[in-house]
Structure 1
Amino acid sequence: MSTPFGIDFGNYSSVIGVARNRGIDVVVNEVSNRATPSLVGFGVKNRYLGEAARSNEISNLKNTVGSLKRILGRKSDDPALEIEKKFITSELVDVEGLAGVKVRFQGEQKTFNSIQLAAMYLNKLKHITTTEIKGNVSDVVIAVPVWYSEVQRRAAADAAIIAGLNPVRIVNDLTAAAVGYGVFKNSELPEDKPRNVAIVDFGHASYSVSIAAFKKGELKILATAYNRDFGGRDVDLAIANHFGKIFQEKYKIDIHSNPKAFSRVLTQAERLKKILSANTSAPFNIESLMNDIDVSASMTREELEEYIQPFLAQIPEPIERALKDAKLTPADLDSIEVIGGSSRIPSVKEKLVEVFGGKSLSFTLNQDEAVARGAAFICAIHSPTVRVRPFKFEDLNIYSVTYSWEKVEGEDVNELEVFPAGGWFPNSKVITLFRTADFDLEARYTHPETLEKGINAWIGKWAVKGVKPSENGEAVAVKVKLRQDPSGFYTVESAYTAEERTVEEEIPFEGELKEGEEAPEPQYKTVKKWFKKDDLTIVHTHTGLDDAAQAKLLEIESQLTSEDKLVADTEDRKNALEEYIYDIRGKIDDLYKDFASDDEKARLREKADAAEEWLYGDGDDATKAQYIAKYEELASIGNVIRGRYLSKIEEERQAKQAAQEAEKQRIMAEKLQAQKAAQAAAQAEAAAKAAEEAGSQDADGDVSIEN
């Protein structure tokens, strides 16, 4: 049985939520953190994923990749990648048209595209989840930014499939947070007039806001706006650049010329930002930053607020746009829920209060975990194994989509705006076309100018096959069902031929019958109705990976996972051998000294010394089998001695146990004897007392008779 789970796919770190019968839990990783760094690193032998990538990041900068969700699904010539080059330390390259990286891995230069990188990371999250819950996972809901296009959503789904997961839904992150709010606040929600709530997410790399209308058991997203290129990392960069100038003046070092030094400053800048969220000033110290120079400085909260004023000035526009699209004012809002790690910055909170007209902010939702919890609940809705309370929600379509087809004689139009911006999804519409042969449909974004630069306006193509003209050669009606599914994907769900027939339809009786009056004879009218004839075949071409490409990348990921496991197992066996060498050395002259002959001790020491010399020499990079063989060679002698020691310990334990049992029996016997003696004494005392009472009665009964 698979446990449904949800992933908040973050730019800095990701959070995993799992749905269980008792509720939604957040999964902790191997170092007990509730968020896992969104990093993928490549080493000499294996990959470093999540926490391991973070630990090796400074020493492995050129081979460590971040900003996974920012580059996912993008083309190699996408203008947005110029922004990411400020934050990604590995080399961005073209990998068969997709953005990717060039890294040194297993002693070779290798390239991986953005979908592969995301799949590697999602596979790591899957492993964390299965380890923590001690069960299987397959169905997953992945929360992505609200500004993701069709291309990026399909890339996220492809990455999940390559990671061995079943993406039941790709959901907007703010919608997932809103679902979490609606579910856990359900008892407080009204049944008639909706509660209007603004949900603001100030994250690591972007900032977004959604206006949601809640009723008991349901939710509708009224408007969404965002700034996709402004987040907490921009604040970190501003702080790092500020200290870069100070260090250049004070210590004559240029941190921008040294990637490792700059990365260390950027990491410290993030820590300082967090400290200043709770304190008015903070030190900034780094040992041996460059050229063996220790640097030190400090910053006050007032100074930080001064440096980030240009960023704070970008906060109002998305909020004002969302309120305008929702046709609401700040006064119409019942609550303003704020999430995202960067929302902890005091000046950000003050600016939000100002933009919302002085309304107080609410932090009902967990700022770091709200999205993951909502995603896990949505996955539970789709799961047959977990029962959850019903909750209906509709998301907002932010881009208009038009379907088009080749015009034939007699048609006035050959395209239709099927899913306009501002509509809700999931949603379906049926169009009727008259055709004598197979035909194609295409979907594209209606207004390419509204898209982010670099995003393809083309969405997909569907070849509808199996169309045959009528017996007299005329065109037949083809009913095509177009759909924007729950993941936001645009598709053609079905297509079939239909024929119009004339039928008699009963007219409903609308009058009232008096008591005892019989209903009049039914009346009928002649109407024309469409009836389904033949299903048609649909061949879909889209922006995502085809089945063959998915299978190929899945095979590569499986192979890399096996290699990572082998490296980890080999390292475990190496550590076990090293531990055994030191352990047996210590015990041979201590615990085991009386259980081995001098010859055995000498041989064991000799083999331990030889194993140690090999381990730190030729055996430093040996195979798993070699480590096991060396371990077993030592253990073949050591275990014999250990067996004697354990036998002696067992004999002593049994002897002690037997002595304890004998002592227990002796005590029980003494207690029993004492009880018997006490019982006999009591019986004797009772008999004596009975005799005494009997003698007293005889004395009282004597009568003397005198003559």
Structure 2
Amino acid sequence: MGTSSYDLAIAIDLGTTYSCVAVWKNNRIEIIANEQGNRTTPSCIAFTDADCFIGDPAKNQAATNSANTVFDAKRLIGRSYADANVQSDMKLWPFKIIKGETGNPKIVVTYKGEEKQFDAEEISSMVLKKMKDVADTYLNTDIKKAVITVPAYFNDSQRLATEKAAKIAGHKVLRLLNEPNAAAIAYGLDLHKDRGDINVLIFDLGGGTFDVSLVTINSEGKIEVIADGGDSHLGGEDFNNQMVNHFVVEFKNKYNKDISKNCRALGRLRVACERAKRVLSSTTETSIDIDCLYDGIDFSSKITRAKFEELNINFFRECMKTVQGCLDDAKINKSRVDKVVLVGGSTRIPMVQQMLQDFFHGKSLCRSINPDEAVAYGAAVLAAKMIDKKNQKVQDMVLLDVTPLSLGLEEHGQLMRVVIPKNTPIPFTEEITRYTTSDNQSCFVLKVYQGERSRSIDNILLGELRLSNLPLAPRTVTSVTVCFDIDDDGTLKVSAHEPITGNNNSLTITKNQLKHTKEETDKMLKDAVKYNVDDQEYRKRVEAYNALDNFVYALRARMKDQDIRNTLSLEDCKTMDAVAKEATHWLQVNKEAEYDVLAAKSKELKCVCRSIYEKTNVRRSMTSYMSTKKN
């Protein structure tokens, strides 16, 4: 095979129903067609007595070999067998799913006369290997490096499983890129030609996942992700399932026969339903005709677009709720959205388009790039950016992701100090200074948390960073510089440096540790709202306690200074000593005191100290005046 003038990298959109591969070549994006000439390839694997088929050949024989034709592997990858979504989906799949030894779902098929079990990663790796072969043939070289796209709300387990599948397929993964972000890059190549900043909503509804992202694209092509949302288990396959359920019930009502347990019948019905769904995007009515569907019965029925919409209206409404939630997170009114971009094959559904247009008061929808290809298109730009450093056109295209939750450190009193707020564009770097909280403190233990609550223990502990052998000194004298640095790949590095001794240490937190499922993230955000009043009261109380503690410490330190004691009378020195001692004891026994009590104590102390300082200043002034008169 030949080689290019520089290292090549491909981009693969690993879809639930269809996958697509692209490459940046000759200063433009090229979507690579497979051997059948199709620009997308079914994410489908078929096992027979003689061979294993991938892509179009597998899909073409699905109706006659349904029990051994595997699809929707993306809906299984990284999930457990007990997952509610897996349990729901497997009722409608014609292939068999069993529980593996580690609790993961296993796909069971008959291959070359023997029963075989496959993990979802293995099935996905076959699709990824197919896409690699398609690219290798077109480019006439062995491509190792790839950017692979995943839904924005894929969790840690699902992302790791996708990387594992890619590795099995022979790919070196440059980056897992969120699908709506990839689409933002694709459209950013053209949209940034408009003057000024524009807000773009990416609506990505595919075969098995749904993502929404709000991004800002400036005139220079810089893309900033403001907020995102979605559902890693919602898409065209759910619409197919609703139709399948509908016709299973209709068949039973007509013929008093239940086909829900017959894999072959379900497989053939599913193929017919998917075909009908596509037809309904351009016509208002279509028919389902299947010869010998079950027990020799020929099944024929009609379905209208209106009925299809009725079956799936709850899914469509859920999509609109997600759009509104994304705008709420971004704190942007829908009137400020300049463009609405459609990505994913399911956005061809007229009702989806109509509801989006109604939501945005008639705004036209952007479909200049084939929705099946937009994700691979944008991912290919990023692949080129990571490989071809000399290409200024792609180097100027910058993608900024956001932190879904705040990141920070635990402070005295189990208080969460936010260093990087949620929805901060990444990459991002922030430095803060921490001071010792006790005399002769020799060690700093920095606890890194993620979340929105005021109390650190109500958030997620990501890790601890220890810095030892600090110079011994009074409280607050020794300082440590702490740096939070999160890169464009989502990896967080927390480093600490003590300038006098030069001691330093660091902690790396991977992007997978920072990612959570949509449900987990939503719960943390809802809890922050639910307990907002309590959290604010807690923060107010702890900050008041810390401020009073610092004041008392400073008072004790002043009273140890002989120069200061010399300016006070003996009686005032005794009073101040007694005040400092009593306040120290008071703080020890009133650590849980309410804010009002702390505020009152602070006012009392400051009043005593102020009266003594004022009396001392008057005495100094009188002494100075008498000295002047005498002279």
| TM-score, scaled relative to structure 1 | 0.62
- C-alpha separation in 2, matches of 1:354 and 1:392: 32
Structure 2 partner of 1:29: 34
- C-alpha separation in 2, matches of 1:206 and 1:261: 26
8 Å Cα contact 1:189-1:214 kept in structure 2 = no
Task: String of CA shifts for 1:538-563, please: whole Å, max 9, x gaps.
Answer: 6879979xxxxxxxxxxxxxxxxxxx
Query: Which of 194, 198, 201 does residue 195 from structure 1 map onto?
Result: 198
Q: Say which is worse superposed, 258-267 or 425-434, in terms of deviation.
A: 425-434
Letter of the structure 2 residue corresponding to residue 378 of structure 1: L
8 Å Cα contact 2:183-2:377 kept in structure 1 = yes
Letter of the structure 2 residue corresponding to residue 69 of structure 1: K
8 Å Cα contact 1:12-1:66 kept in structure 2 = yes
Query: Which of 182, 203, 222 does residue 226 from structure 2 map onto?
Result: 222
- C-alpha separation in 2, matches of 1:137 and 1:387: 19
Letter of the structure 2 residue corresponding to residue 96 of structure 1: T
- C-alpha separation in 2, matches of 1:459 and 1:110: 41
C-alpha change, 1:142 and 1:126, in structure 2 (3 Å) is same
- 1:300 CA drift (Å): 2.6
- C-alpha separation in 2, matches of 1:102 and 1:478: 57
Q: 5 Å matches for 1:56-455?
A: 56-88=61-93, 89-104=95-110, 110-186=116-192, 188-190=193-195, 193-216=196-219, 217-384=221-388, 387-389=391-393, 390-401=396-407, 412-413=413-414, 417-430=418-431
8 Å Cα contact 1:463-1:539 kept in structure 2 = no
Task: String of CA shifts for 1:564-608, please: whole Å, max 9, x gaps.
Answer: xxxxxxxxxxxxxxxxxxxxxxxxxxxxxxxxxxxxxxxxxxxxx
C-alpha change, 1:426 and 1:40, in structure 2 (3 Å) is farther
- C-alpha separation in 1, matches of 2:503 and 2:397: 36
- 1:388 CA drift (Å): 4.4
8 Å Cα contact 1:315-1:351 kept in structure 2 = no
Task: String of CA shifts for 1:139-198, please: whole Å, max 9, x gaps.
Answer: 221221121233433333333233322222222111111111111333x222xx411222
C-alpha change, 1:61 and 1:460, in structure 2 (3 Å) is farther
State the secondary structure of the residue aligned to 1:14.
strand
- 1:379 CA drift (Å): 1.0
Larger radius of gyration: 1
Letter of the structure 1 residue corresponding to residue 493 of structure 2: V
State the secondary structure of the residue aligned to 2:315.
helix
- 1:48 CA drift (Å): 3.7
Task: String of CA shifts for 1:482-504, please: whole Å, max 9, x gaps.
Answer: 4443233x4436x465323xxxx
Task: String of CA shifts for 1:440-485, please: whole Å, max 9, x gaps.
Answer: 96666668xxxxxxxxx97965787xx6526879999776654443
- C-alpha separation in 1, matches of 2:62 and 2:473: 69
Q: 5 Å matches for 1:515-530?
A: none
8 Å Cα contact 1:200-1:337 kept in structure 2 = yes
Query: Which of 16, 24, 29 does residue 19 from structure 1 map onto?
Result: 24
Letter of the structure 1 residue corresponding to residue 285 of structure 2: S
How many corresponding residue pairs?
492
C-alpha change, 1:111 and 1:437, in structure 2 (3 Å) is farther
**Structure 2: 5+ residue stretches without partners:** 1-5, 454-458, 514-631
Q: Say which is worse superposed, 141-150 or 426-435, in terms of deviation.
A: 426-435
- C-alpha separation in 2, matches of 1:76 and 1:421: 33
Letter of the structure 1 residue corresponding to residue 168 of structure 2: I
State the secondary structure of the residue aligned to 1:11.
coil
- C-alpha separation in 2, matches of 1:498 and 1:228: 44
8 Å Cα contact 2:492-2:511 kept in structure 1 = no
- C-alpha separation in 2, matches of 1:473 and 1:112: 62
- C-alpha separation in 1, matches of 2:508 and 2:442: 18
- C-alpha separation in 1, matches of 2:365 and 2:135: 33
Task: String of CA shifts for 1:98-123, please: whole Å, max 9, x gaps.
Answer: 44434455665554444444333322
Query: Which of 42, 49, 62 does residue 54 from structure 2 map onto?
Result: 49
- C-alpha separation in 2, matches of 1:309 and 1:30: 38
Identity %: 28
8 Å Cα contact 1:462-1:539 kept in structure 2 = no
Letter of the structure 2 residue corresponding to residue 212 of structure 1: V
Structure 2 partner of 1:5: 10
Task: String of CA shifts for 1:270-293, please: whole Å, max 9, x gaps.
Answer: 111111211222221112212232
State the secondary structure of the residue aligned to 1:289.
strand
Letter of the structure 1 residue corresponding to residue 11 of structure 2: G
8 Å Cα contact 1:477-1:498 kept in structure 2 = yes
C-alpha change, 1:297 and 1:360, in structure 2 (3 Å) is same
Cα RMSD for the two superposed structures: 3.5
8 Å Cα contact 1:197-1:333 kept in structure 2 = yes
State the secondary structure of the residue aligned to 1:256.
coil
C-alpha change, 1:426 and 1:50, in structure 2 (3 Å) is farther
Letter of the structure 2 residue corresponding to residue 140 of structure 1: A
State the secondary structure of the residue aligned to 1:499.
coil
C-alpha change, 1:105 and 1:416, in structure 2 (3 Å) is farther
C-alpha change, 1:136 and 1:428, in structure 2 (3 Å) is farther
**Structure 1: 5+ residue stretches without partners:** 448-456, 501-530, 545-707
| TM-score, scaled relative to structure 2 | 0.69
Task: String of CA shifts for 1:370-407, please: whole Å, max 9, x gaps.
Answer: 11100000111111366241112212333445667xx9
